[in-house]
A and B are shown apart, each in its own frame.
Chain A
Amino acid sequence: MLISVSNLKKIYVSDEVVTKVLHGLTLNIESGEFVSIMGPSGSGKSTLMHILGFLDKPSSGKYYFEGQDVTKLEDEQLALLRNGKVGFVFQTFNLLPRTSVFDNVKLPLLYSKMPDEEKDERVKKVINAVDMSHRENYFSNQLSGGEQQRVAIARALVNNPAIIFADEPTGNLDSVSGVQIMKILQKLNDQGKTIILVTHEIYTSEHAKRIIKIKDGRIVGDEPVMNRRIATDGEILK
């Protein structure tokens, strides 16, 4: 089992205002799955994804990653997990401005144990995998949104992680660019990568193999996709 979560809760407390975001979620995800986390705005999708991706900590409940109790880990070990086991793609790309595509993609490798001489080759390989080799030396802010998101995917891939987390990766893109991103994600999943995709659009979520529906911090549905959509050129992402 890759991910095993039980009775996961998240409560935010700020200025005496208590916000209960996740109310005891239980779910399992196997290696090689392509899961959509679907739900309306504010339902807690991103919060769940951040906890699953070691960016945030649950208030209570259990989280086992590859059999390891994540809630017992120190910050240092969480950083290692973030670096080696997961890759993130955000709605707003989160690339470093005035920094080249190459250096942006290389960023996670700065904190990895990979031998220096292998790094550049690895960076070029993943840039090529998202078809961005022709823009390798461009600054990130000189790229279109779709191109930036492809660079962000390359960055998520560079450490060869077990899981890619994508939080509304097509949210800021036009449909043509969106389809390209979904194509890449499906291809990665075909190659064996576990993908966890957060979205509030049913159409987008149907590119996954399994949809977990969330509402008000509770799981309200967990089903395989019957008629899975395959992203193809010319498709209009609604």
Chain B
Amino acid sequence: MNLINSAKLSILNLSVNKVRTLLTTSGIIIGIASVIVVMSAGEGIKSLILGQLDTFGTDIIETEIKVPNTAKNKTQSQQESGIAMVQGVQVTTLKLKDMEDINKLPNIKGSYSGILGQEATSYQGKLKKVFLYGVTASYDEIDRGEIAEGRFFSESEDKGLAQVVVLGSELKQDLFGESDVLGKEIKIKKKNFQVVGVMKKRGSIAFFNFDDLAYVPVRTLQKKILGVEHLVHIISQFENKYQAEYTAEQIRRLVRENHDITDPDKDDFVVTTMAEAMEVLATVTGAITLLLLALVGVSLIVGGVGIMNVMYVAVTERTREIGLRKTVGANYADVMRQFVIESVLLTIIGGIIGILLGIFISFLLYRFAITHGMPSWRFIITLKSIIIALGFSAFFGIFFGVMPARRAARLDPIQALRT
């Protein structure tokens, strides 16, 4: 029997035994689809994390306050600044002068600095506790945030302690709804602030909602609202990324000198480049990928065992058929060829359906992610995942389709016929 006839016969067989065909392919479909979904989700999570990094920009160095190491906590992690803020431990040494000095460094294009506060804010009786982000006017140039209407405040307004405010898109919506805001006055800590601009919608980044912020000049916030002189962080943009680490070291020396620190162990600040942050995230995504791979492994095993069982049962059921075929003249090779072709066909059909299903589910996942606060989730189907999925199903489908058939095809025809 030639190959074309064998293929025709196999198609006939598969269509005749629809339930069996369906059962066998479902194992392959589930296995393949789960591989594709899991690997696509992995890419999605990666893109989510990288996308979040990208919204900050990758050409920046951050200088952030940190509780200095003492003899007691010396062994603890270096990255305690965030915790220090939350716990209310005040580090008040980071000043605008530090930013001005950093700006003089050769590889620095510019910087902005900021401090956070939270105050009762109202407009026409609507009261809301609002996060205030005091920043220098240079925020507008360096940060990726964009103005939707009006303008950002200027350097002279900052220096003149002007009471002006730029609203995040959600905050604007909360206080004003659809009505005009530019030029209106809102009250922050009972002081009048004029709205000069509204920011574009940006979404949450690392659980920090930019759209809910009120941006005010940093000096105004320091002097008129909080009554402090320090900053929380300074964000600096560099020119040449190959010198980023060197520049970061220059910043460390400079700030140390400004803060009269001789022992780097006693630093009350920490300088990080995005490259370092990227490295940390690469480790995190690496761990996530590893976890996902483990999941893929499990789904492969489950799918594989499923395929194996169905194939095995199918062949056992078909031993009589094999006996009959041998009785009317099929030889070992004929029977094997039929099973190989059937398995290959099943694998191809199951493979195609599985890939389509996997892509479809991955797409649903993507839709869900972007509509649920993860806008930078990307819909990625890698060739690698398709190759792994197909390789797997080809292996299991054909191996487990052919192995039990071998046993049956070796029987004497009458033995097979009698089962």
**Contact yes or no, B329 A103, CB < 8 A:** no
A108 touches B414 (CB 8 A): no
Cβ of A107 under 8 Å from chain B: yes
CB distance from B75 to the nearest CB of A (A): 72
Closest CB of chain B to A123's CB: distance in Å?
Answer: 13
Beyond A94-B324, A96-B321, A98-B16, is A111–B329 a contact (Cβ under 8 Å)?
Answer: yes
Interface status of B262 (Cβ within 8 A of chain A): no
**Bitwise interface map of B from 284 to 320 toward A, beta carbon under 8 Å scored 1, else 0:** 0000000000000000000000000000000000001
* Residue B157 is within 8 A (CB to CB) of chain A in the complex: no
The residue from B1, B17, B320, B413 contacting A55, defined by CB atoms under 8 A apart: B413
Q: CB of B9 within 8 A of chain A?
A: yes
Q: Mark B377-419, 1 if CB is under 8 A from A, else 0.
A: 0000000000000000000000000000000000011100100
Q: Does B182 touch A at the CB level, under 8 Å?
A: no
- Output the nearest chain A residue to B412 by Cβ-Cβ distance: A56
Are A79 and B329 CB-contacts (below 8 A) given A55-B413, A98-B17, A111-B334?
Answer: yes
- Interchain CA distance A50-B329 in the complex, whole Å: 14
Selected from A83, A94, A107, A155, the residue in CB contact (under 8 A) with B417 is A94
The listed residue (B16, B17, B320, B330) touching A111 by CB distance below 8 A is B330
Chain A residues lying within 8 Å of B243, measured Cβ to Cβ, are: none
- 1/0 contact trace for B321-345 toward A, CB 8 Å? 1001111111110100000000000
Q: Is A76's CB within 8 Å of the partner chain B?
A: yes
- B228 is an interface residue with CB less than 8 A from chain A: no
Across the interface, name the chain A residue whose C-beta is closest to B18.
Answer: A98
B370 CB within 8 Å of chain A: no
Beta-carbon contact of A107 and B332 below 8 Å: no
Write the nearest CB–CB distance from B283 to chain A, whole angstroms: 57
Partner of A57, one of B9, B412, B417: B412
Does A88 make an interface contact (CB < 8 A)?
Answer: yes
Assembled-state Cα–Cα distance A155/B327 (Å): 11
B5 at the interface (CB under 8 A from A): yes
A79 touches B417 (CB 8 A): no
CB <8 Å contact, B412 and A55: yes
Q: Does A99 contact B (CB under 8 A)?
A: yes
Chain A residue contacts of B327, Cβ below 8 A: 55, 82, 88, 94
A59 within 8 A of B: no
> Is B83 interfacial (CB 8 A cutoff)?
no
Rounded to whole Å, the gap between the CB of B46 and the closest CB of chain A is 49
Q: Which of B5, B320, B321, B331 contacts A75 (CB 8 A)?
A: B331
Question: Residue on B with the closest CB to A95?
Answer: B324
Q: Does B12 make an interface contact (CB < 8 A)?
A: yes
Contacts of A202 in B (CB 8 A): none
* A76-B329 contact in complex given A82-B413, A96-B324, C-beta closer than 8 Å: no
Known: A96-B321, A103-B12, A110-B5. A80 touches B412 (CB 8 A): no
Which of chain B's residues have a CB closer than 8 A to the CB of A107? 324-325, 328
Decide: A108 near B329, CB < 8 A? Known: A96-B324, A98-B16: yes
Q: Is A128 interfacial (CB 8 A cutoff)?
A: no
For residues 74 through 122 of chain A, which have their beta carbon under 8 Å from a beta carbon of chain B? 75-76, 79-80, 82-84, 88, 94, 96, 98-99, 103, 107-108, 110-112, 116
**Cβ-defined partner of B329 (8 Å) among A56, A84, A96, A98:** A84
A55 to B330, CA, bound (A): 12
Tell whether, in the assembled complex, residue B332 and residue A83 are in contact, meaning their CB atoms are under 8 Å apart.
no
Chain A nearest CB, measured from B376 CB (Å): 53
A98-B17, A111-B329 given; A56·B1 CB < 8 A: no
A2-58 residues with Cβ-Cβ distance < 8 A to B are: 50, 55-57
Nearest-neighbour CB distance to chain B for A160, whole angstroms, equals 13
Report Cα–Cα, A108/B324, bound state, in Å. 10
Chain B residues whose C-beta falls within 8 Å of the C-beta of A76 in the assembled complex = 331-332
Residue A159 CB within 8 A of the other chain: yes
* CA–CA, A192 and B329, complex, Å: 23
Q: With a CB–CB cut-off of 8 A, which chain B residues contact A55? A: 327, 412-414, 417
A83 touches B412 (CB 8 A): no
21 contacts between A and B (CB under 8 A): A50-B414, A55-B413, A55-B414, A55-B417, A75-B331, A76-B332, A79-B329, A79-B331, A79-B334, A80-B329, A82-B329, A84-B329, A88-B327, A94-B320, A94-B327, A94-B417, A107-B328, A108-B328, A111-B325, A111-B330, A159-B328
Residues of B with Cβ closer than 8 Å to A?
1, 5, 9, 12, 16-17, 320-321, 324-332, 334, 412-414, 417
The 9 closest A-B pairs by CB, nearest first: A83-B329, A79-B331, A108-B328, A111-B329, A55-B414, A98-B16, A55-B413, A56-B414, A82-B329
List 15 other contacts, CB 8 Å, given A55-B414, A79-B331, A155-B328: A55-B327, A56-B413, A76-B332, A80-B329, A82-B328, A82-B329, A88-B328, A94-B320, A96-B16, A110-B5, A111-B325, A111-B329, A111-B331, A112-B329, A116-B5
